[in-house]
Amino acid sequence: MTRTLLVEAAEHAERAADAADGEAADRFDRVADDLRAVADESRSGPDHGWMAKRINTIREAASDANDDVRGHAEAAVESISEYREDVPGV
């Protein structure tokens, strides 16, 4: 499993934040910060529950957004989901 996918997800979340306004932009920024933090850590990485919460936050923040925001949000979800495929457990 590669942490590059988490960095990619963070970059997409940042792009979504740049394209969004208000609370949605703040939520995307927080998720991007979370993803970068775990990508930089030396421990084993996030578990399924942690990633599921971030995916849910991304989807909720994008629910009423424009196409540009939704595109970046979906790309972030895809990167997280690809990373999750190699995480043991659930």
Instruction: State the total domains in the chain.
Output: 1
- Answer yes or no: is 34 within a domain: yes
pTM: 0.89
**pLDDT tens-place string over residues 19-69:** 999 999 999 999 999 999 998 886 777 889 999 999 999 999 999 899 999
Closest of 86, 90, 16 to residue 58, by C-alpha: 16
- Answer yes or no: is 90 within a domain: no
pLDDT category of residue 1 using cuts at 50, 70 and 90: low
- Mean pLDDT throughout 5-23? 96
Structural domain boundaries, residue 24: 4-84
- Burial (0-12, 13-18, 19+ Cβ within 10 Å), 82: middle
